[in-house]
């Protein structure tokens, strides 16, 4: 496991025309209002997605039937500049409670001015989500594909702005 | 020189293929089940599935007389391409929400 090759992190950046405190509060307090509802894991349709505002807090969805599904945990809660949560949803689209299999998402909020904020997302430790040997094989077979993939992603995000 | 390595993201550039990929992410399905929910024929669905399978994003196994398709659970490409997709959409949605919520008067200051 410890010798498994790493997968490059996914990085995304977006600039929003609001102060940094506002950007942080929309991202966290209103998480369930903007997160695309199709990306959820529960059997029932998603009624709400909740990020508890403290280190050690839960990050989970509530279904329309009242059921709850965990997504991960809050590792760092530093308003209004930084947030780190785990993402424990595996390739089978299921919650994996094993902390060894937890990937991490770090979100940084940087004020560019009084009314503009850059939000950077890094989704890392992706190798923990999948079997080490499978990753090794994929990287060996696919060669240096990851860098190219990352560049494409960066371009796609840039084009959206 | 390109394509094999970048297959993951490139393959999802086609909207129908992306729809199929996302349907399979929600639930393993047969060609017929996918075709029912899409405005394309079964042969067209099969063709998209073949491309996704060749790219390592999807696997299939026989079940009775049908084949059931699902995302390749060991596929780094599948996982990463999917997460790429999610963040792409999530950040766009976040931007919209953050800017919609702001009071226009405050924004002036």
Instruction: Give the best residue of A9, A16, A94, A117 to mutate against chain B (max B CB count within 10 A).
Output: A16
Q: Which of B48, B54, B45, B44 is nearest to B7 (CA)?
A: B54
Contact flag A115-B109 (C-beta cutoff 8 Å): yes
Q: What is the pLDDT of residue A141?
A: 42
Count of CB atoms situated within 10 Å of the CB of B76: 28
Strands, E, within chain B: which ranges?
58-63, 66-71
Q: Is the interface score ipTM higher than 0.90?
A: no
B100, two tokens: 């919609």
pLDDT on residue A93:
62
pLDDT in tens, B34-80: 999 999 999 999 999 998 888 778 889 999 999 999 877 666 666 77
Distance CA A44, CA A33 (A): 18
Domain interval for residue B25: 7-96
pLDDT < 70 positions in chain A: 1-6, 90-93, 130-161
Q: What span, in angstroms and rounded, lies between the C-alpha atoms of B104 and B94?
A: 18
- The pLDDT of residue A135: 45
Three-state SS at B62: strand
pLDDT tens digits, one per residue of B67-102: 999 877 666 666 777 778 788 888 999 999 999 865
Inform me whether the pLDDT recorded for B28 exceeds 90: no
Q: Chain B within 8 Å of A36 (Cβ-Cβ)?
A: yes
Sketch out chain A's domains with CATH numbers: 10-129 (3.30.530.20)
- B91: in domain: yes
Q: What CATH number does residue B48 fall under? A: 1.10.10.10
pTM over cut 0.95: no
| B57 part of a folded domain | yes
Token couple for B32: 């017929």
User: With 50 as the cut, is the pLDDT of residue B3 above it?
Assistant: no
Which of A35, A126, A145 has the CB atom closest to B79's CB atom? Answer: A126
Q: For chain B, what is the domain count?
A: 1
Q: Is the pLDDT of residue B103 over 60?
A: no
B29 three-state secondary structure: strand
Condensed to tens digits (0 to 9), the pLDDT of residues A100-134 reads: 888 899 999 999 999 999 999 898 888 777 654 44
């Amino acid at each position: 496991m410890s010798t498994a090759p790493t997968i490059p992190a996914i990085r995304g950046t977006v600039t929003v025309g609001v102060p940094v405190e506002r950007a942080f509060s929309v991202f966290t307090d209103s998480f369930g209002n903007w997160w695309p509802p199709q990306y959820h894991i529960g059997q029932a349709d998603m009624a709400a997605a909740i990020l508890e505002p403290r280190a050690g807090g839960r990050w989970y969805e509530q279904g329309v039937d009242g059921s709850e599904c965990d997504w991960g945990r809050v590792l760092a809660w530093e308003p209004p500049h930084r947030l780190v949560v785990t993402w424990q949803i595996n390739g089978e689209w299921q919650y994996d409670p094993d902390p060894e299999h937890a990937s991490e998402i770090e979100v940084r909020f940087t004020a560019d001015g009084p009314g503009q904020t850059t939000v950077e997302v890094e989704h890392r430790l992706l190798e923990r989500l999948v079997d080490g040997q499978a990753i090794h094989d994929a990287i060996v077979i696919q060669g240096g594909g990851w860098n190219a993939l990352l560049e494409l992603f960066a371009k796609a995000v840039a084009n959206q702005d | 020189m390109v394509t094999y390595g970048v297959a993951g993201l490139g393959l999802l550039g086609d909207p129908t293929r992306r729809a199929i990929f996302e349907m399979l992410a929600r639930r393993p399905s047969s060609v017929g089940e996918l075709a029912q929910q899409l405005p394309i024929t079964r042969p067209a669905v099969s063709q998209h599935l073949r491309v996704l399978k060749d790219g390592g994003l999807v696997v299939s196994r026989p079940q009775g007389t049908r084949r059931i398709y699902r995302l390749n659970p060991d596929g780094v490409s599948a996982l990463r391409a999917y997460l790429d997709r999610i963040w792409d959409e999530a950040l766009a949605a976040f931007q919209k929400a953050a800017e919609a919520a702001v009071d226009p008067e405050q924004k002036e200051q």
